[in-house]
Structures are given as structure tokens and as C-alpha cells.
Amino acid sequence: MPGSSPAFARPVTLRRTLACDLAGVRAAVQIVRGFLVEQGWGEGDLMSFDLALAEACNNAIEYATGTGRDQPITVEVLSDASQVEFRIHDHTPGFDWPEQIELPSPESESGRGLWLIASLMNYAGYFRGRGENILVLRKSRPSVAPVPKPRLEPERATTSVEKDAIISDMVEELSSCYESLSAIFRYSGELGQTGSLKEFARRLLGDLLRILQADWFVLRLVPKDKLELAVFAASEPALELEPLTPGARAEALRQPLEIEAAMTRQTVWFDAEKPPAADDPLAKAKPGSAGMAHPIMLGGRLIGTLTLGRKQAVGAEAVSARSGAIFTAAQTNVVTTFADFLAIQIANARFQEEQLHQRLVAHELEIARNIQRSLLPSTLPQVAGFSLAAFCRSAREVGGDFYDAIKLDEDALLLVIADVMGKGIPAAMFAAILRSLLRASPELTRQPSALLTRVNRLMFRELSDVDMFITAQLALVDGAARRIITASAGHCPLGLALTGAAAGTVRGFSPEGMPLGIKPDTIFEDETADLTENCRVLLYSDGLTETLDRNGKPFGQARLFDWLMRSTAGWRTAETLKDELVSELDAHHADAVLRDDQTFLILCG
């Protein structure tokens, strides 16, 4: 560093412990000040350090609870050519370091400690561990350091044993940081190549186990559409446990660890003293383990949980275990880093999956739309003395409506309208099959009920296998006899408006018959009616009557039949009436989203 004395090029450390008593704070702060004076820190910085350290120690003492009050506060100071670092080890329950620290109102008599710490230091980080947390504070040296006279007083000098302990701790933490960083960088590079998020998570967390010297892990994720925690990856097959759901429990009974971590958004620790509930799947799969269940969060949203454990030391082994901590604060920090990294990767993978799904859905809809379009006759056959028009408008999510008009001879037409219950390609495919079967049975085309019976028998198995069904209506128009024979498979009634002596209300034809695909042996019936001059016959799908207006009110059959009756006033072609009905429907649904296909055939006598 320019301007600094070579005497400060080497890091120098001080480690002090103080009892959990506010009365001892100032003395400890004075010792640290003396040490830092020797390291060439100026008065302005020293004042800042005094205050920040005092605030940190006060908090460590004031918030200690239970056995934490019997344990000393440890202060470590590392000063080198570029900066000073303080580490204050506390035994409080810990707290979440706020992302943004705000000053309390001027009248408030407390709550300025963290503000002062954050304002006086360049860096403040709080690392929570089991039974011990570490507050790390750093401040850089000013660009031109004064040239002090190094002087070591025996009572302030660090003993070589203390130095070894600090250096050993630091080496351990640095090594953890290095390993976690290198693992993350390595996997960042590989992520695009592996393709499998599960495999990626398994390998990343396998590395984490090695860094933590832990034995097992379980990664659970919250599925998109379910309120549960499902195992996504685990270190061994025995940990591929059933999904967990939050449930009501007796107050004394502990929730499963992972549910507790998910609900509280806090790390949950477990060991022999605070074991999981007896019915916790982890208690059965990994008895005698100690570890932590960590919530994985992203942008305030719970992504899942990561649980890590190791077989708990017993007897003499336990005595030698480091201060009883399952994972140190530094290791806990590594877990948090891995969990945060994993959360980002999971969110990215899910986003990409969602994008792909949307593209596939759009592609499928396009295919379905093309199939549906190809099923409709390009030109409508006509029969003498009548005019015929048809209309089909697809909803955004293409349904399974289709119509057909099959010319049987110069005087006869078979009109078909059908609605496959379903959306997308499957519905379009069944519509295509139905159309082919209807056209492939010429011997039955003059008996609509017999034709439906045959088609139902042929399609029943395929439809019932996929829980789909089709409503359909057939109408044989005999132009010479001016007669119509209809049969229905659970379809909307055919509307017939007559004129002359038979004029009155519209008659709805809905002969008995269940939809195709419901029962294999459905019996269909024919109904016959005579067609007067200037009559109207309307075959339609329920997309017409169920068209909603802006307020959610359906168009309705009454309004449809009323329009049909009125349409008999005066002579008009089917094409004109088609346009009129489309205008009626458009006026009704205005700019409301079309929820279902709209399809109809209209015949004018």
C-alpha cells in the first residue's frame, strides 16, 4: 500500500475474551485501542473502532440468553497493511442482519447501535451458527497512513498459542470459502452442459457434504401447483422420502424439521438434545443424526428446504467435538451460499421449462387449429329449394367443434355438427376420426340414429380410455319430400322455425341419446319433421348459447330461438342469416374473451 510502513505489511492479530458483563466492555475496547495504536491507526479511525466495537459487545451481552450468559464474548482483531477486521463471537440466539438499516425516530431512546456500526465501518456481516454467531466488521486504512513506532507490550501481545488458534480458524474458513467458491464456479460452467437440474443439484450438494464433512443431504422443493415439500434430490436412495405437507399437530409435538424450516423461514437445528419428532421421516431414516434444515428462499419466496446431517459423535468422540457446534458459523455461511446459488439455478431452470411449455402449447394449438380447419368442407353442398350456410369460429384454446355437410344425392344432404369435449390436438384428432367414420358408412347415412349407433360402438373404447366424449347431431334433409330426420348424441337441440299455418315458436329437436363414448350400447332415436316454405333449421354448438357478455351473462337458447323465429319474416338466404347471427353474437360478447368455439349450420327452406 503506498505510504504504509513495511512494519504493517504482515497481519497482526489480537484475541481477547470478556465476560458476559457490560461493565467489562470499555476495558476490552481500551485494550483493542492500544493494540491498534501500535498498528498505526489514526485517532479518527480509533474513535470509530471504539464505538463500533463497544456497540457490538453491548449487543452480544444484552441479547445473550440461557447458557449464553455464562459464556465469554470473544473479540478477534486482525490488522494488516490494508485494513482491520474485527470478529465478535456472541452466544445469543442471533438475528437476521437487516438489508437496510434505518435510524429510529429522533425521540426513540434506543435502536441506534446497528446504525452506528454500519456507518462507522466499511463492511459489517453477521453469520449465524448454532450456539455461536460471528459479527465481522472491516475498515480499510486511509490512503496515507501515519508512520508509527511499532511497540509490543507484553500484556497486549498475542501469544503464539492464540495466534496459532486464530490462524488455524482462518485457514479453515478460507479453505471452506475457497472450496465453496470453486465448486460454484465449476458448476456454473457446467450447468448449461449437464441439462439435468437434478443431477446438477446432486453433484453440487455432494461437494457441500465434503466441505462440511457431513454425511447426508435431502433437497426438497415446493412444486409449482402443490402445497408440499417433495424430495428433489438426496444423497442416498433411502432418503428419497414421501412428500411432506403442513398439518395440524398437537402443540407439544414438533413438526417435521423441514416443514418447521419452511414455515418459520428459519434454519432449524437438530441433535440428540433437540431431536426431530418421532414420526419425522428423517428421524426414522437417519436416527442419531445432528444437523440443520435450511429454508431455500429467492426474492422472499420459499423454493424448498435443504437438510444436512452427520452422524452424531458419542462418548469420548463427543467430548473432543468442537465446542458442541454441529456446524460452525463459517460452515453455516457456506450452506447459505450454496442454498442461494441453488435457488437461482432452480428458478432459472423452472423459467426455461415454463417458456418451453408455453412454446409447445402454442405449437400444439397451431396444429389443432390447422386440423380443425382442414375438417371443415371448403364448399358447402346445396340441395334444391334450400340454401345452406355454416360458420365456425375457434376460441383461443381451440376446442373440438366441427360441422360437415355430406351430399347423398341431388335431393338429400346429411348435416353434421359435433363438439368433442376437450381441447387441443386430442380433441381435433377425435373430430377427424368422427368425420371419417360418418363419411365411411354410406349405407347408414339416411338413418341418422343407426349411423350414431355404429359410430358410438366404433369409437367407444378410444374415447373412454382417455375420458373424452363427443356430442353430435345429425340431420338428414330430404329436399324432395321437404322433410328432416334428426338424431342426437347428447347435443344441443336443433332449432326448427316453421312458417305458414305451422308458424309459432321455434321447436327444439333433441331426440333421446347419450353423447358418444359414454356407453357402448346407447340407443339413439330419430325424429322427423316436415319443412314448410321459408322455414329455418339451425344446428349449433353450445359455444353459441354460452357466449358471455362483459358481465358474464350468457347469450342463451331463448334469445337464439327468438332470433331464429324473427328471421322467418321475409325471404333471406342462409348466407345473409349467417351474417346476421354472427353480428348478434358479436354484439353480445363485445370484447369479452371467447371461451369456446362458436359453430352453427343454418338451412333456409
State which residue, 117 or 406, has the beta carbon closest to another protein: 117
* Segment contacting another protein by CB under 8 A, of 48-56, 178-186, 312-320, 547-555: 48-56
Determine, following the binding rule CB under 8 A, whether residue 50 of this chain makes contact with another protein. yes
Question: Interface with another protein includes 406 (CB under 8 A)?
Answer: no
Q: Which of 107, 155, 410, 591 binds another protein (CB under 8 A)?
A: 107
Closest to another protein by CB, 130 vs 139, is 139
Among 39-47, 171-179, 495-503, 515-523, which window interacts with another protein (CB under 8 A)? 39-47
Q: Where are the beta strands (DSSP E) in 318-429?
A: 387-393, 400-409, 412-420
Among 47, 253, 314, 481, binds another protein (CB under 8 A): 47
Q: What spatial distance separates the first Cα and last Cα of the chain, rounded to whole Å?
A: 101
How many Cβ atoms sit within 10 Å of the Cβ of residue 267? 22
Q: Measure the CA–CA gap between 196 and 26, rounded to whole angstroms.
A: 56
Closer to another protein by Cβ: residue 103 or 167: 103
Q: Which of 46/209 has CB closer to another protein?
A: 46
Residue 359's SS3 state is: helix
Q: How far apart are CA 112 and CA 105, in angstroms?
A: 10
Q: How far is the CB of 47 from another protein (least distance, A)?
A: 4
* Residue placing its CB nearer to another protein in the complex, 77 or 120: 120
**Residue 104 CB, nearest approach to another protein (Å):** 9
Written as nine digits, the cell of 259 is 416443514
Q: What's the min distance (Å) between Cβ of 296 and another protein?
A: 35
Q: Is residue 100 a contact point for another protein (CB under 8 A)?
A: no
Residue whose C-alpha is closest to residue 404's, from 477, 492, 459: 477
Asked if residue 44 binds another protein (CB under 8 A), the reply is yes
Q: Which three cell numbers stand for residue 172?
A: 479453515
**CB nearer to another protein: pick between 49 and 187:** 49
Q: Nearest 5°: phi and psi at 510? A: -140, 75
Which residue, among 218, 202, 230, has the nearest Cα to 285 in the 3D structure? 218
Q: Which of 103, 440, 503, 587 binds another protein (CB under 8 A)?
A: 103
| Beta pairing partners, 409 | 412
**Complex with another protein: residue 6 or 44, whichever CB lies closer:** 44
Q: For residue 125, what are the β-bridge partners?
A: 136
Smallest separation, CB 108 to another protein (Å): 7
Phi, psi of 321 (to 5 degrees): -65, 145
Cell numbers given for 344: 437461482
Q: Helix 329-375 vs helix 197-212: angle between axes, to the nearest 10 degrees?
A: 180
> How many chain residues bind another protein (CB under 8 A)?
25
Is 56 among the residues that bind another protein (CB under 8 A)? no
Nearer to another protein, 115 or 391 (CB): 115
Interface positions, 1-30, toward another protein (CB under 8 A): 22-23, 25-26
For residue 255 the three cell numbers come to 413438526
377 Cβ partners below 8 Å, 6+ apart?
Answer: 390, 404, 405
Distance between CA atoms of 368 and 431, rounded to whole angstroms?
10
Interface positions, 110-149, toward another protein (CB under 8 A): 110-113, 115-116, 119-120
The residues binding another protein (CB under 8 A) are: 22-23, 25-26, 43-44, 47, 50-51, 54-55, 58, 103, 106-113, 115-116, 119-120
